[in-house]
Amino acid sequence: MVVKPNLGPHAGAALNNLSFTRAFNRIMLAPGRQYVTLGGVPFIARARLTQRGAHEGEPVIVFYSGGREKARSYACCWGLQTNCNSTHINTYTAAL
């Protein structure tokens, strides 16, 4: 297991080929599609609206690997290395 340094929330720039909206729509059109991170880890992504919390009602992309949620991205996190909770998301977002 690779442990990445804690960069804090919304840290660093990430290179994404798609905008958040285009990625969200692509995932909605192909639920259950498997992707692979640049490090070779398979994952699936699900797009939905957040049901509670600070982002309630906002679109969110949730990344799952091995049947467990590993990270999530809101529009405000897109294009960054980490999300609101300081979780690294760039390996997932770049693979979309």
Binned at pLDDT 50, 70 and 90, residue 1 comes out as low
| Cα four-point dihedral sign 4, 21, 58, 48 | negative
CA-wise closest residue to 45 among 71, 16, 18: 71
Q: For residue 3, give every residue at least 6 positions away whose Cβ sits within 8 Å of its Cβ, in sequence order, or none.
A: none
pLDDT in tens, 23-77: 999 999 998 899 999 889 999 999 999 999 999 999 999 999 999 999 999 999 9
Binned at pLDDT 50, 70 and 90, residue 3 comes out as confident
